[in-house]
Structure 1
Amino acid sequence: MNRRVVITGMGVLAPGGTGTKAFWKLLTEGRTATRRISLFDPSPFRSQVAAEIDFDGAEHGLKPQETRRMDRATQLAVVATREAMTDSGLEDREFDPHRTGVTVGSAVGATMGLEQEYRVVSNDGDSWLVDHEYAVPHLYNHLVPSSIATEVAWSVGAEGAAAVVSAGCTSGLDSVGYACDLIREGTTDVMIAGATDAPISPITSACFDAIKATTPRNDDPEHASRPFDGTRSGFVLGEGAAMFVLEDLESARRRGATVYAEIAGYASRCNAFHMTGLRADGREMAEAVRIALNEGGLDPTDIDYVNAHGSGTKQNDRHETAAFKRSLGEHAYRVPVSSIKSMVGHSLGAIGSVEIAASALAIDNDVVPPTANLHEPDPECDLDYVPLTAREQRTRAVLTVGSGFGGFQSAMVLTGADRRSS
């Protein structure tokens, strides 16, 4: 079955504003949403900055029982799903629940809920033997990541396949890639797919402090995230969620749906090398890019924009630059590349889906978002990284990539739905 999968609905909750419109406005204006951490006292930590969302579930229609039951990451996913369903036009139409599935990516699941409840039952860590009776009744939901997919499925009445994809920082790409496979093989007709993470907590900060992956640039939070810049010193932790309505192109056209983009190709590879280390030549990411292009029937020269992983660590930025040169050849020097993590931080498993949203919006608006804070390019990162200011240009095919701890490397190609013949 050769079904073409398209995005017909989108919901985004990202730092700097809730909702897809606010997200795109922030990106195109080149503004940053990084600041000193306010969700807890960060003073004991090496890195004290993050990209937070000003989010209150109740303000987005979640009931007290729902906010009590759901971790923050789950709340973000459910609210983003509601926006995506409204945007798709499926909300008020009949769809077969048994042919509608859910995939949600998440790297760290209910981190905030688990840490909060451990502090309660252990008296802030003073008690080795904890009393479970002090925990919230729904603690099990925090422990089991599958509860995120469950809540999303309940929120839309989806009764088809439901799964959580957890592959570190590529989870948001891999979740959508898996959803596409289910539609293409005919298992489902509609997929609610995306990713969510809300990891800004003391335990997460301590973990990244230990390996010095996050930036210590605490005196200038707004300019702390500096992908591809020679003065960069690590990534800025973030949070967020992006959810999509995916369906096959023919059904979308029959019901007159708006199509943001077609997911033309996807591939994932693992370097089988090191938990946090990357080979300098970018071979595994380049291979993922090659397979994704082949699946979409595209040549490297067809790519109009590359949405980079661009975390802001020296190792990743140089590895990624090498991967683009390896996979795109001479075209790598001509195509614009940018990292939105410079503006919204790195939301771990969620960021892949957030970047898919940025890629689809780049196609829909013919605009390439910039890399903020890029003033002193690293000589080893010598591509066109679109510094500081968004660029208007025809954008019909976008490559977006992800790199994650464990050696995961994923790539996805999005195109305008009219780019390929039926």
Structure 2
Amino acid sequence: MQKKRVVVTGLGTVSPLGNDLETTWNNLINGVSGVGPLTRVDSDLFPAKVAAELKDFNPENYMDRKDAKKMDRFTQYAMAASLMAVKDADLTITEDNAPRIGVWIGSGIGGMETHEEQYRNFQAKGYRRVSPFYVPMMIPDMAAGQVSIAIGAKGINSCTVTACASGANSIGDAFKVIQRGDADAMVTGGTEAPLTIMAYAGFSSMKALSFNSDPKTASRPFDANRDGFVMGEGAGILILEELEFALARGARIYAEIVGYGATGDAYHITAPAPAGEGGVRAMRQAIKDSGLQPEQITYMNAHGTSTPYNDKYESMAIKEVFGDHAYKMAVSSTKSMTGHLLGAAGGIEAIFSVMAISEGIIPPTINIETPDPDCDLDYVPDVARKQDVYAVLSNSLGFGGHNATLVFKKFE
């Protein structure tokens, strides 16, 4: 059976860089950081003092107030980004096409804020004061569920939970649904709202977060003095469509998605496999799936978390996969500006990959001040680069040894 071609026709995001695509993209390519002092929770309780928070997000700009109150923050973010993406794609969902339009939105931890709040209610006042909406607000699949209800999409409805690879895995899984002919369009990506007391406690205890209290330099992927990631929040959603379906309705096409690779490290619950061995296999899988040669990849949006092991091993993995081309290819970590959006990272970074192709601009990596001999690739330091971008590879690597790689290319 011949594989269907799949294109990207709509984009939507709420992020630490802005509450829409245009603001987010403009801040990204101008090297603006979305990292600031931690305000969502009491920073005095934790050694990590900074975060990449959304600014001035009001769910009532996107949905009814009563509906918003029945959603955890992560679902509100997904709703906002999805509605913007559907509008951007000018996709009209009708009774006729609804069964062929699906939703696949990932989240690493779901409604953690709701869980913590309702547990406090239970401790203080017993089970009768726990919200009847507690369970449907908390479970990670509810973002996909609520979006499908809001837009009337009746096709496959799913949620991939693979820690920090959730968004990328969801996009890859949605891509394959269309490619094999089971849907004509998919609303897909990732969402996360992890800025809560217990998330900060857990990540601080395991020393995964940066304890650098300077918001300007705390997120510094590939820098020799990196000391951990900066937690962020938000959502990134793409509209994927089968090519003929998109052309028939005259859709604007940003790029084509052509490759997906997914592997497991089978090594450790949090640490990446030595030399990024699992990432090597995921990248090779995705490139093979795409039908491209490694030398055709113009730019790579790296996972680039600003943690000591990830950045070293990911750089090693890139060199293993690309050989000499690793030094000719642009590689950047947009987490230097957005922070790490956990399960939403793959969604927003897929958007950045698509925009790099569409706009001919490669986003920079900011905050590389001290070179690391283990990280010696072209990380596009500080200043965005204008050039023709033919194909982009995007990596997402998650706790549990989950590795996901996506490949996008210029639509021809």
**Superposition TM-score, scaled by structure 1 size:** 0.95
The alignment status of 1:238 with 2:239, answered yes or no, reads no
**Structure 2 residue identity aligned to 1:279:** A
The 8 Å contact of residues 155 and 183 in structure 2, kept in 1 or not, is answered as yes
**Which whole-Å deviations, capped at 9, do the CAs of 1:286-321 have from their partners, x for residues lacking one?**
111111111111111000001000000010001100
The 8 Å contact of residues 375 and 387 in structure 1, kept in 2 or not, is answered as no
Find the partner of 1:190 among 173, 185, 190. Answer: 185
Residues of 1 paired with 2:252 and 2:28: CA distance?
22
SS in structure 2 at match of 1:402? strand
Identity across the alignment (%): 39
Return the offset for 1:116: 1.6
The 8 Å contact of residues 280 and 318 in structure 1, kept in 2 or not, is answered as no
**Which whole-Å deviations, capped at 9, do the CAs of 1:236-271 have from their partners, x for residues lacking one?**
000010111111112212221111111110011011
Matches within 5 A, 1:1-400: 1-91=2-92, 96-123=97-124, 131-218=126-213, 220-400=214-394
Residues of 2 paired with 1:93 and 1:359: CA distance?
30
Structure 2 unmatched runs, 5+: none
Residues of 1 paired with 2:151 and 2:110: CA distance?
21
SS in structure 2 at match of 1:140? helix
Residues of 2 paired with 1:58 and 1:244: CA distance?
20
Structure 1 unmatched runs, 5+: 124-129
The 8 Å contact of residues 5 and 243 in structure 2, kept in 1 or not, is answered as yes
The 8 Å contact of residues 8 and 239 in structure 2, kept in 1 or not, is answered as yes
SS in structure 2 at match of 1:113? helix
**Structure 1 residue identity aligned to 2:116:** E
The 8 Å contact of residues 108 and 140 in structure 2, kept in 1 or not, is answered as no
**Structure 2 residue identity aligned to 1:60:** N
Return the offset for 1:94: 7.1
Residues of 1 paired with 2:220 and 2:313: CA distance?
16
SS in structure 1 at match of 2:207? coil
Return the offset for 1:231: 1.2
C-alpha spacing 1:375/1:308, structure 2 compared with 1 (3 Å): same
**Structure 1 residue identity aligned to 2:106:** G
The 8 Å contact of residues 266 and 412 in structure 1, kept in 2 or not, is answered as yes
SS in structure 2 at match of 1:374? coil
Return the offset for 1:356: 0.1
**Which whole-Å deviations, capped at 9, do the CAs of 1:75-115 have from their partners, x for residues lacking one?**
00011110001000113777611111110110000111111
Moved over 4 A (4+): 92-95
Residues of 1 paired with 2:255 and 2:270: CA distance?
33
Return the offset for 1:377: 1.9
**Superposition TM-score, scaled by structure 2 size:** 0.97
**Structure 1 residue identity aligned to 2:5:** R
Hey, what does 2:401 align to over in structure 1? 407
The 8 Å contact of residues 169 and 348 in structure 1, kept in 2 or not, is answered as yes
SS in structure 2 at match of 1:232? coil
SS in structure 2 at match of 1:237? coil
Residues of 1 paired with 2:343 and 2:93: CA distance?
30
**Structure 1 residue identity aligned to 2:169:** D
**Which whole-Å deviations, capped at 9, do the CAs of 1:148-202 have from their partners, x for residues lacking one?**
2110101110111101110010011000111011111111111111110000011
- Count the aligned residue pairs: 411
